[in-house]
Amino acid sequence: MSVLGTLRAVAVFLALASAAGAAATAPLPVSEIAPGVFVHGGVQEDASPTNGDEIANVGFIVGNRAVAVIDPGGSYREGAALRAAIRTQTQLPIRYVIMTHVHPDHIFGAAAFRADHPDFVGHAKLPGALAERGAYYLRRLHETLGAEADGSEVVPPAVLVSTKLDLDLGGRRLVIWAHGPAHTDSDLTVFDEATRTFWLADLLFVDRIPVIDGSLVGWLDELRQVTAIPAARAVPGHGPVSVPWPQAAAPEQRYLEAVARDTRAAIKAGVDIADADRHVAQSERGHWLLFDAYHARNVTAAYKELEWE
Amino acid sequence: MGMTRSTLGQAAASFCLVMLTLGGTALAAPSEAERAQRWSDLRHAIFGDRAIADADGLVAIEAPNRAEDAAIVPVTITVTDKLAPEVRALYLVIDYNPSPLAAHFILGPLADARHIETRVRIDDYTYLHAVAETADGRLYAAARFIKAAGGCSAPAGKDQALALKRLGKMKLVLGDHSKPDQPLQAKLLISHPNNSGLQVDQLTHYYIPADFMQTLKVTYNGDLVFKLESDISISEDPTFNFAFRPRGGANSGVLTAEILDSSQRHFTQSWPVPAPPQM
């Protein structure tokens, strides 16, 4: 066989192997919310074997030379399905996998991209947060999902962002911002200059109650800063895949401000931490999905933070 | 109480009900008979063969039925007015925690035994026991069941940079001082990670070292209010609500808190306690 013939045979083999791989993993449904910006909308539920922890908005942005994944998903399987979705759009190399923060629903799909040898990008505080929480999150993922969790791993970021980082996808620049403690202490956001799409990840919750796992005061500060940045649209970490900006941040800001105001008042009045949630932001109850599952916990976190003021 | 730490141990696997994005649990729960046996083992380990009377309302333990955050569960031990003057020590036992003896308060002459509150980690659905010990050696136990899990291995720290910066700092909030015949309420906040040593660094596969408050001594003008022996069951940033009777009549005084942690660090802080208003 000629060299050319050998190459052709290898190419055919690779194509078949790739087709077999694609058949095994159905692509994650994605919407192209702006040219080259694809998002899969997570379900507004807690993780379960039924939803496979596909509860966060995850996706990718395609440039002229490379692809960047923004949050690889909540399990290896979701990551693999997201990768399959990328391959229905482009064969360009997946050069970056951006992990927007430490929470499991956003990052446990990272291992599905290992073979692409991308740069795994995270906040400078993400390695520390993963050290504290990774093993625990992984064990809980297995307990919650069973076999659906198979293959999921804690993947440490190799490229760390402490303030700002530009990524070039070929004719398309992404600006990554590292934020102070807000939703968590490892929050990143991504701005796509080509379409002025602002990927807020979990700095922005829409419809689903925000979860305070970093700093309430810090989150309100960060919100004031990011809402001053003009954008054509935003991508929340939970909620519709594309929302108007900055209007979509208003309900979250209102909720967090209510929690801060009422928790401060409760502390001042000597209300015990165990009773505080009943005195805090109850007017918000009808506005949020999963309110009863997370509100009291948010108030505990807020109380613990604000009692040091 | 080294026995609780060594025998029931650091190796205990744990899991968590209450967490951020994952919910539910599927492990088999102990039967009531097994729970009773657990308490029987614990009480003998801690108190030997001494008789323990049912508190029958003399001592009570308050906690939410279901904890919102298993790493920060508020627990209050109360003692009736009648028994309180006789009480010299209070024990808080969390039966199914890896280190069940969560707190041992030794009360000084200035302490008000009627109400002490702290926040604890709870690792599994469990009974909590509060035991009051009187000056003449009687023991009274009260129990309460709580639904919470994962608090010992769960990560509580939300802002690691802040935790390091604030390590060892304390804050005291004094209550209403206008009734000199009443004990003075106080809330003491201590910034300390109180790491359980049960979290594994997934990247290095080493356990993150335990680093927790071992003793806390609170005094007023040098007289003991209480001394606490504790360990990993106390929440991150240990917090105590208590009351004491400032001695010295109309004079102002100084409240002091001294801490020794498992890394042999000492922290001390003092606060002026204003004199009560003249009647």
Helices (H), B15-57: 32-47
Over range B176-184, report the average pLDDT. Answer: 80
Does B73 map to a domain?
yes
The span from the CA of B129 to the CA of B136, in Å, is 21
Does B279 map to a domain?
no
The pLDDT of residue B202 is: 64
Residue B46 has pLDDT above 90, yes or no: yes
Helix (H) or strand (E) holding A68: strand A67-70
Q: Euclidean distance between the first and final Cα of chain B, in Å?
A: 46
* Site from A43, A53, A137 to mutate, B interface, most B CB atoms within 10 angstroms: A137
Residue B36 has pLDDT above 90, yes or no: yes
CA angle B120, A183, A129 (to 5 degrees): 65
Does B26 map to a domain?
yes
Residue B177 has pLDDT above 90, yes or no: no
Left (φ > 0), alpha (ψ -120 to 50) or beta: where does A263 sit?
A: alpha
The pLDDT of residue A131 is: 86
pLDDT band at A61 (very low <50, low <70, confident <90, very high): very high
Please state, as a whole number, how many other Cβ atoms lie within 10 Å of the Cβ of residue A182: 28
Over range A164-181, report the average pLDDT. Answer: 98
Over range A66-76, report the average pLDDT. Answer: 98
The pLDDT of residue B32 is: 95
Averaged pLDDT of chain A: 93
Decide if B15 and A307 are in contact by the 8 Å CB cutoff.
Answer: no
Tens digit of pLDDT for each residue in B125-153?
899 999 999 999 999 999 999 987 777 76
Tell me which amino acid residue B245 is.
R
Over range B248-267, report the average pLDDT. Answer: 89
**Cβ atoms of A73 and A52 closer than 8 Å:** no
Does B6 map to a domain?
yes
Does B278 map to a domain?
no
pLDDT band at B250 (very low <50, low <70, confident <90, very high): low
Percent of chain A past pLDDT 90, that is, above it, reads 88
Decide if B21 and A53 are in contact by the 8 Å CB cutoff.
Answer: yes
Decide if A129 and B237 are in contact by the 8 Å CB cutoff.
Answer: no
B28 touches chain A (CB under 8 A): no
Instruction: Say which CATH number the domain at B230 has.
Output: 2.60.40.2470
> Residues of A numbered 210-239 whose beta carbons fall under 8 angstroms of chain B's beta carbons: which are they?
211, 213-215, 218
Domains of chain A (ranges; CATH) run: 30-246 (3.60.15.10)
Q: What is the count of structural domains for chain B? A: 1
Over range A12-41, report the average pLDDT. Answer: 76
Among the residue ranges A65-69, A224-228, B75-79, B228-232, the one predicted with the least confidence is B228-232
Nearest to A216 by CA among A281, A157, A279, A268: A281
More reliable by pLDDT, B278 or A134: A134
Instruction: Work out the minimum CA distance from B62 to partner chain A, whole angstroms.
Output: 10
pLDDT band at B80 (very low <50, low <70, confident <90, very high): very high
Decide if B160 and A132 are in contact by the 8 Å CB cutoff.
Answer: yes
The pLDDT of residue A188 is: 98
**Cβ atoms of B203 and A135 closer than 8 Å:** no
Does B16 map to a domain?
yes
ipTM tops the 0.95 cut: no
Decide if B155 and A132 are in contact by the 8 Å CB cutoff.
Answer: yes
**Cβ atoms of A155 and A79 closer than 8 Å:** no
Instruction: Work out the minimum CA distance from A297 to partner chain B, whole angstroms.
Output: 5
The span from the CA of A25 to the CA of A78, in Å, is 9
The pLDDT of residue B180 is: 72
| Closest partner CB to B171 (pick from A137, A299, A308) | A308
Does B114 map to a domain?
yes
- Structure-block tokens of residue A34: 């702006």
Cα A291 to Cα A261, A271, A302, B250, distances in angstroms: 18, 21, 15, 50
pLDDT band at B64 (very low <50, low <70, confident <90, very high): confident
Decide if B68 and A211 are in contact by the 8 Å CB cutoff.
Answer: no
- From chain A, the residues in CB contact with B15 under 8 A are 139-140, 143
- Structure-block tokens of residue A19: 């087709």
A50 touches chain B (CB under 8 A): no
Write out the residue range of the structural domain in which residue B43 sits: 2-273
Instruction: Convert B80-114 to b/e letters by CB count within 10 Å (16 or more is b).
Output: eeebbeebbbbbbbbbbbbbbbbbbbbbbebbbbb
Over range A2-29, report the average pLDDT. Answer: 57
Among the residue ranges A56-65, A123-132, A176-185, the one predicted with the least confidence is A123-132
Largest CA distance in chain B: 64
**Cβ atoms of A30 and A84 closer than 8 Å:** no
- From chain A, the residues in CB contact with B21 under 8 A are 46-47, 53, 55, 74, 103-105, 211
Tens digit of pLDDT for each residue in B84-123?
999 999 999 999 999 999 999 999 999 999 999 999 999 8
Does B96 map to a domain?
yes
The span from the CA of A126 to the CA of A124, in Å, is 6
> Residues of A numbered 101-160 whose beta carbons fall under 8 angstroms of chain B's beta carbons: which are they?
103-105, 125, 127-141, 143-144, 154, 156
The pLDDT of residue B179 is: 75
| Closest partner CB to A128 (pick from B24, B25, B160) | B160
Residue A7 has pLDDT above 80, yes or no: no
CA B264 to chain CA centroid, nearest Å: 20
The pLDDT of residue B40 is: 97
**Cβ atoms of B189 and B54 closer than 8 Å:** no
For chains A and B, CB pairs below 8 A equal 125
